[in-house]
């Protein structure tokens, strides 16, 4: 019983920081792709995607 309670408390404590780091990494990838799209716009005009 104590093992189940320990796991129930430990799993969220481990997964929350992992999810936060993942969120930061995906945000950086999204920003880089968005910047790349603007640079590749025809005619050099900035194109904003949402």
pTM > 0.85: no
**Looking at residue 35, what is its pLDDT?**
85
pLDDT in tens, the chain (50 residues): 999 999 999 999 999 999 999 999 999 999 999 888 877 766 656 666 66
How far is it, in rounded angstroms, from Cα 21 to Cα 29? 12
Alpha helices in the chain (DSSP H): 2-39
Residues 6+ apart with CB under 8 A from 48: 38
Specify the pLDDT at position 34: 87
- Please report the pLDDT score of residue 47 as a whole number: 60
């Amino acid at each position: 019983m104590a093992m189940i309670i320990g796991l129930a408390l430990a799993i969220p404590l481990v997964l929350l920081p992992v999810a936060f780091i993942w969120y930061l990494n995906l945000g950086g990838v999204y920003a880089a792709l968005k910047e790349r799209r603007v640079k590749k716009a025809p005619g050099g005009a900035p194109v904003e995607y949402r």
